[in-house]
Amino acid sequence: MKKQLSIFSICLTVTAFVICAPLTGGAQDLAELERLADQDVKPFVVVQGIGTGAVARAQGVMISPRGHVLTAGHLCFDTVKSVFMEDFLVVLRTRTSEVPAGMVHSHESQFIDRENTVYKEHHYEATVQKLNDSHFVDNRDLAVLKIKSSADFPCVEFFSDDKPKLSIGDTLYLCHYPWVSHPTDPTFLVNPITVTGVAQTPSGLQYLAEGYFRWGSSGGALLKDGKLVGIQCSAYTVNVQDVGEMPMGLLSFHPVHRSMFKDFLSEEAPDGDGATEE
């Protein structure tokens, strides 16, 4: 969800996986970021909410091998009809056809400016998981989707079982596809953000951070030591008249931890009931 008075999209064709890291830091940290970005089948996905006359797109991250996807809750709302969406697609962008079973659509594109290199996109149907008939997780701007497949999927571990302890000045890494509206575009960023403060929002208290983001990065995973510590929810941009999109300002995020999602993930246990599907 982006707060801005004027936005003009800047469309660039970029087909490389991009890593942005601070000049300081150990080689081991950069190697981990490289590993995350270079996976053929990533746990980081594009999520589409399909409404009547509207398609909303955001980032998402898989949090279980059974295909549970954590994303921004506001993705679920159809702003055209002012109703909540119930139909979703989870999209894997890859260089390979060897992906988990259960996809409902797949297509590929040749990038002629990369000597006809082929990149692929695989679509999976998904349902929103509800507790107490709510689209949101504990009234936060978070939602959990479940891919309609019995296959195993790659996933990211949580940084902690309980609420993570973050401090002003902490460096986290935002994982996102900057061109969510460009089918098959594989460009994927793992870039640093710095925790700077807090924000009281309609979805409760969130943490503020400075760093690069752009339209469509809501739902992006925030990593600490290679593990999931937060989900980006909103962005507060610098308003510069008639200049165009300014990927600077502040973003806000919910810190996340495993115990927040125990009811959603409990279906992985033999006797668990899990959350309800709609």
Looking at the fold, whether 163 and 231 belong to one and the same domain comes out as yes
Looking at the fold, whether 30 and 83 belong to one and the same domain comes out as no
CB atoms within 10 A of CB 206: 23
pTM higher than the cut 0.75: yes
pLDDT at position 13 is 36
Q: Is 170 helix (H, G, I), strand (E, B) or coil?
A: coil
Lowest mean pLDDT among 5-19, 39-53, 205-219, 255-269: 5-19
Looking at the fold, whether 170 and 121 belong to one and the same domain comes out as no
Residue 208 confidence class, pLDDT cut points 50, 70, 90: very high
Report how far residue 125's alpha carbon sits from residue 91's, in angstroms, rounded to the nearest whole number.
9
Looking at the fold, whether 48 and 147 belong to one and the same domain comes out as yes
Query: Does residue 14 carry a pLDDT above 50?
Result: no
The first and second tokens of residue 277, run together, are 């599907």
C-alpha dihedral over 78, 75, 199, 249, to 10 degrees?
-100
pLDDT at position 3 is 43
pLDDT at position 239 is 63
Report how far residue 34's alpha carbon sits from residue 245's, in angstroms, rounded to the nearest whole number.
28
Task: Report the CATH number at residue 136.
Answer: 2.40.10.10
Report how far residue 58's alpha carbon sits from residue 49's, in angstroms, rounded to the nearest whole number.
8
Nearest of 222, 75, 91 to residue 135 by alpha carbon: 75
Q: Which is higher by pLDDT, 217 or 277?
A: 217
pLDDT at position 15 is 40
Looking at the fold, whether 234 and 107 belong to one and the same domain comes out as no
Looking at the fold, whether 22 and 107 belong to one and the same domain comes out as no
Strand partners, 129: 144, 277
Residue 247 confidence class, pLDDT cut points 50, 70, 90: low
* Beta-sheet strands, E only, within the chain: 2-3, 18-19, 44-50, 55-62, 68-72, 77-78, 83-84, 87-94, 105-111, 117-130, 142-147, 171-176, 189-201, 204-211, 221-224, 227-237, 249-255, 276-277
Looking at the fold, whether 197 and 220 belong to one and the same domain comes out as yes
Percentage of residues of the chain with pLDDT beyond 90: 56
pLDDT at position 4 is 40
Looking at the fold, whether 17 and 35 belong to one and the same domain comes out as yes
Strand partners, 93: 121
How many structural domains comprise the chain? Answer: 2
pLDDT at position 23 is 34
pLDDT at position 68 is 97
Query: Does residue 220 carry a pLDDT above 80?
Result: yes
Looking at the fold, whether 202 and 89 belong to one and the same domain comes out as no
pLDDT at position 270 is 37
Residue range(s) defining the domain that contains residue 118: 44-156+260-277
Report how far residue 260's alpha carbon sits from residue 17's, in angstroms, rounded to the nearest whole number.
31
Mean of the per-residue pLDDT values of the chain:
83
Query: Does residue 137 carry a pLDDT above 70?
Result: yes
Nearest of 223, 217, 220, 247 to residue 231 by alpha carbon: 220
- Residue 67 exposed, middle or buried by CB count within 10 Å (0-12, 13-18, 19+): buried
Looking at the fold, whether 254 and 229 belong to one and the same domain comes out as yes
